[in-house]
Amino acid sequence: MKQKFDINRFKDNAFKYFGIACTLFGLAVLSVFLINILIEGLGRLNWQFFTSLPSRKPEKAGILICLLGSIWIMFLTALIAVPLGVASGIFLEEYGKKNKFASFIEINISNLAGVPSIIYGLLALEIFVRILGLGKSLLAGSLTLSLLILPIIIVSTREAIKAVPKSIREASYALGATRWQTIWFQVLPAASGGLLTGVILAISRAVGESAPLIVIGALLYITTIPTSPMDDFAVMPIQIFNWLSRPQKGFIENATAAIIVLLLITFMMNGLAIYLRNRWQKKIKW
């Protein structure tokens, strides 16, 4: 018997191949980009590049200042944003009453997560730089980025806490634990995988951010190593932006090399996040 042409089956297959094509498109663009970057920048990656100060001559310039700036920013931002964000997340999830005010706060936090980063820059310029007089310091930059990632940390903390089953909390209460003991000894350890994942992803977002820091006036060209939170600073993305805007070929090469370093940092952080998530899922099966 001759098979009739089946239109539904055709559609099914057509969609499958369309989907494959879409996926490959994204991957292809990404690989072209990565390969391109690697070809141009890999040769520039050497010890001198990591240990040199900015310079007007591309072959003498290095990323020491901005790499240290990014590391400072990473730690200061984590120091500010993680306790604030995790504590807010815990409060909203465990203590907050479920009423209209709570859902109002909830909606606003989700909205904040979607505000363009440059707006945070403007806010920070007014409050931290001008009113509080922190200037263009590392502290001002970290506070700015903390504002930016705070909603992300709050939301991911809540998600991680929500994933801990009610039965664990009840078991703890039933043994005479207070709310805080239950949170500290049961909920947080059980949620730690998801919590850390969210925190790491948020910080890796902060490390890659440049717009709000440009707004508050992070410098493009400084030659002193930052040693305290009140020092001026530069960060990787701004240095990359700066080099890319120069006409000389040598600076473009420097920029691509710096992009490789920045990518490595974010890949490493995302990898760590994925590792923690997997380990946590393996360890705990409800």
Partner 1 sequence: MVKDNNMGKLHAEKVNVYYGDHHIIKDVNLSIQENTVTAFIGPSGCGKSTFLRLLNRMNDYIENFRKTGDILIDGNDIYDKKVRVEELRKRVGMVFQKPNPFPKTIYENVVYGLRIQGIKDKSKLDKVVEDSLKQVALWNEVKDKLHQSALALSGGQQQRLCIARTIAVEPTIILMDEPASALDPISSAKIEDLISELKEKFTIIIVTHNMQQASRVSDKTAFFYLGELVEYGATDQIFTKPVKELTQNYITGRFG
Residues in touch with partner 1 (CB under 8 A): 97-98, 165, 167-168, 170-178, 181, 185-186, 189-190, 283-285
For residues 68 and 177, which CB has a smaller minimum distance to partner 1 in the complex? 177
CB of 173 to partner 1, least distance (A): 7
The answer for residues whose C-beta is within 8 angstroms of residue 118's C-beta and 6 or more apart is 211, 212, 215
CB of 97 to partner 1, least distance (A): 7
Region class of 184: left (phi > 0), else alpha (psi between -120 and 50), else beta:
alpha
CB of 106 to partner 1, least distance (A): 16
**Interhelix angle 138-162/188-208, nearest 10 degrees:** 140
Q: How many CB atoms lie within 10 A of CB 144?
A: 29
CB of 167 to partner 1, least distance (A): 4
For residues 8 and 167, which CB has a smaller minimum distance to partner 1 in the complex? 167
Of 26, 67, 19, residue with least CA distance to 47: 67
For residues 30 and 102, which CB has a smaller minimum distance to partner 1 in the complex? 102
Cα 196 from Cα 191, distance rounded (Å): 9
Instruction: Give the torsion through C-alpha atoms of 96, 97, 102, 106, to 10 deg.
Output: 50
For residues 33 and 91, which CB has a smaller minimum distance to partner 1 in the complex? 91
Residue 250, classed as helix, strand or coil, is: helix
Cα 169 from Cα 193, distance rounded (Å): 18
CB of 283 to partner 1, least distance (A): 7
For residues 9 and 162, which CB has a smaller minimum distance to partner 1 in the complex? 162
For residues 91 and 185, which CB has a smaller minimum distance to partner 1 in the complex? 185
Asked if 236 and 74 touch (Cβ cutoff 8 Å), the reply is no
CB of 121 to partner 1, least distance (A): 40
